[in-house]
Structure 1
Amino acid sequence: MSMHVKQENRSWFGLLLGPVVMLMIIILPAPAGLSEASWLTIGLTFWMASWWITEAVPIPVTSFLPLVVAPLLRINHINAVAVSYAHPLIFLFMGGFMLSIAMERWSLHKRIALKTMLLTGSKPSQQIAGIMLVTAFLSMWMSNTATTVMMLPIGLSIIQMTQTDEQTDAPYNKALLLSIAYAASIGGLATLIGTPPNALMAAYLNENFHIKISFARWMLVGIPLTVLLLFSTWLWLTQMFYQVDKNATRCSKVTFRLQLNELGPVKREETAVLIIFALTALAWMFRPLIAKITGLPLDDTIIAMLSASLLFACPIDRHNRRLLKWKDATKVPWGVLLLFGGGLSLAGLIKSSGLADYIALQVEALDAMPLWLMTIIVVTVIVFLTEITSNTATAAGFLPLLGPIAMSISNTPMTLVIPAAIAASCAFMMPVATPPNAIIFSSGQLRIADMAKTGLMLNLIAIFWISLLGLTLVRWVLNF
């Protein structure tokens, strides 16, 4: 009862806090150097953050705020605000979710989960290590969004198989699901195509400073960083924060084999879904090559929606049965699509209002500091800023400003540009921070507080490793 009262009080506090702060910002004049639109955007950001953290209203409802507040306060026009809710990334989510639903409908995810877990140990920490390695490897070559969408049903299936109806293990559930989100974000750091800020950084250095970073050379930086972050994350999740080996139930390989036998032989529907799944994964992985050979303007969203269409269109037998029916679409977590749309809309307002430029200028004012301290500050600011803005927008806003600053203090832009680009992909606290966080949050087994408490330490760990490697390994490998 006391916990319920505590949660209720927190909800009331959050419900009132956001609007009150917004009202104060409306009344008070904007500080010097800050535009009225930027000032109001700060209020909207605080309002949304307070409602997201306290869950004062349903999470997707908070995502409606930009549609209401921004036009009424003349921060931006309704058309400019609403366009974020139809961002191609939203449809990438949707197509990925359809693929996930098809896997679940025909139990393909369970078969994959059992096959995967037969390759790992029976200890919960070993199971999590296995799922993290698979997720990170896929994310090196595919978008972290697509990777997470693929791995979520597998993770949920593992949870179902390792728990009984009488006893559930919330710490293990949370650790496993969070490990998928975090491994998807971390794995993308290993390659230039793994996450948009990496590609943006490489393009910026090449176009503005004629510095070309090859795919292979970047991996000499990205893979060690990925390994360190993966191990640190696994250690934090399984041995320190949740201590899953002490609390969770072991599940032997015999159990996995028995459950695999219960599924029987592979069905035609499973094969069809697996073929579409594999073709989709290959198309995501080799999209640049396919686009170059065919001359088609492919992107991840087109591939995802084509795959979703095939699931509804392709007959699987003479009775014209399909892999998915439209009623299956009700299982799509539409709330998380709204959640991410709200996050993208807020990120757009931060950029269009000039707030991103203002924040970047505050960093620019610190150019007299030692390089090591400047690196830590820049990495810290970007890691926490990208919790509420898109990583691509953050990188796009900061890199052009950090390049000249780095040149003035170290004669090369790479000293700050590379750590900043990496930091933009390391947001572990908020569901809106990255697509993997949002997708995992859609499972319904996590609260924002769970992600925030776990992710705070991982943010600090990421700041440490990015800063350290940015001052050492990156300089050695890239010769500056």
Structure 2
Amino acid sequence: PTFGEWVKYGLPFVPVMALVVGLYFYFAFRRRIQVKSLNISTLVRQASRKIGPMTRKEYITAAVLILLIVLWVTCSDRFGMGGPVILCIVLLNIFRILRWQDISKIQWEVVALYASACAMGKGLEATGAALYLADRFVAILPDFMHSGTGLAMATSLFTGIATNFMSDGATVSAIGPITVPMAIISQTSPLMVGLATAFASSFAHMFIIGTPNNAIAYTMAKDPLTGEQLVTLGDFFKHGFCILILSFLVMWLWVFLGYWRWMGFINGSVA
């Protein structure tokens, strides 16, 4: 899909899921909330005053970011996702915002990790192993999950569980070459199943190893005075499991059985 199609099919999911997550944590922790009234706008203004006005480099960086998004939306079908990124990196170098010393400090082992995951997925596709695994997986599914919306539910469930044990990029690279052939075998829209796989790869809520965001939140969740760990691994598992279930329910009910049908996906095919 193009970047515009990605936004079209994915954006309506975001505010609903955010509202569900917010409500869950409100009801889960409402008895432990100690700050009864909090003016968020005042705190934001105070933080902004501490940061100070934007500099020339910050304005240029913001403009380059906007340009990147515009190119993704308008030109991704012609230049892909990587072309605009390379162009914007060159622009940042021209304006001396991004220096070669900065690039040399990039953790290239992370790039290698994603590259190896992509290579593994490509190997599964090239050897035919992905098609074989897809055929075997479809065979063991209940009848209502063999095609259409049921297949999208099955692939999202499989991906959502797997992504808690490895990064989202690695999950999609390894599972995508399997789930897309599953759609082809069952005469379901590959776009629908592919998007279901990609969206569910963001459901890494239970373990800190699932995504760097979890690791950062866990590391920073300490009392600044005592150093006490405020968020434990048990908290991640308990509440992450609940959020994972809610994520599946919102995706299945609001996305698959909701607005995707209004946008043209009918029984797993594009109308």
Alignment TM-score, normalising by the size of structure 1: 0.40
Code of the residue aligned with 1:218 in structure 2: it is F
| Greater Cα radius of gyration, structure 1 or 2 | 1
What's 1:52 paired with? 72
What's 2:197 paired with? 180
What's 2:266 paired with? 246
1:193 to 1:207, Cα distance in 2 relative to 1, 3 A: farther
Code of the residue aligned with 1:33 in structure 2: it is P
Given the alignment, which residue of 79, 96, 100 partners 1:74? 96
What's 2:210 paired with? 194
1:81 to 1:39, Cα distance in 2 relative to 1, 3 A: farther
What's 1:234 paired with? 252
| 1:79, distance to aligned residue in structure 2 (A) | 3.9
Given the alignment, which residue of 234, 246, 250 partners 1:216? 234
Q: Deviations over 1:88-139 (max 9, x none)?
A: 3322121112211222233222222122222233341111111111111111
1:65 to 1:105, Cα distance in 2 relative to 1, 3 A: closer
| 1:39, distance to aligned residue in structure 2 (A) | 0.9
| 1:81, distance to aligned residue in structure 2 (A) | 4.3
Q: In structure 2, what is the Cα distance between the partners aligned to 1:33 and 1:44?
A: 19
Q: Deviations over 1:53-76 (max 9, x none)?
A: 111751322112233211222223
| 1:83, distance to aligned residue in structure 2 (A) | 5.8
CA RMSD of aligned residues (A): 2.4
Unaligned 5+ segments in structure 1 are 1-31, 164-168, 250-480
What's 2:24 paired with? none
| 1:245, distance to aligned residue in structure 2 (A) | 7.6
- Runs of 4+ aligned residues of structure 1 deviating over 3 Å after TM superposition are 81-84, 206-209, 244-249
What's 1:138 paired with? 162
Unaligned 5+ segments in structure 2 are 1-51
Q: In structure 1, what is the Cα distance between the partners aligned to 2:252 and 2:104?
A: 38
Q: In structure 2, what is the Cα distance between the partners aligned to 1:155 and 1:145?
A: 15
1:43 to 1:245, Cα distance in 2 relative to 1, 3 A: closer
Q: Does 1:102 align with 2:123?
A: yes
Code of the residue aligned with 1:111 in structure 2: it is Y
Q: Deviations over 1:441-477 (max 9, x none)?
A: xxxxxxxxxxxxxxxxxxxxxxxxxxxxxxxxxxxxx
Q: In structure 2, what is the Cα distance between the partners aligned to 1:141 and 1:147?
A: 9
Alignment TM-score, normalising by the size of structure 2: 0.69
1:76 to 1:153, Cα distance in 2 relative to 1, 3 A: closer
1:83 to 1:49, Cα distance in 2 relative to 1, 3 A: farther
Code of the residue aligned with 2:66 in structure 1: it is F
1:190 to 1:197, Cα distance in 2 relative to 1, 3 A: same
1:71 to 1:245, Cα distance in 2 relative to 1, 3 A: closer
Question: In the TM superposition, what are the counterparts of 1:252-291 in structure 2 within 5 Å?
Answer: none
Given the alignment, which residue of 78, 85, 101 partners 1:63? 85
3-state DSSP of counterpart to 2:222: helix
What's 1:151 paired with? 175
| 1:35, distance to aligned residue in structure 2 (A) | 1.1
1:207 to 1:103, Cα distance in 2 relative to 1, 3 A: farther
Contact kept? 1:190, 1:223, Cα under 8 Å: yes
Contact kept? 1:44, 1:69, Cα under 8 Å: yes
Q: In structure 1, what is the Cα distance between the partners aligned to 2:210 and 2:163?
A: 6
Q: Deviations over 1:24-74 (max 9, x none)?
A: xxxxxxxx7111111111111111111111117513221122332112222
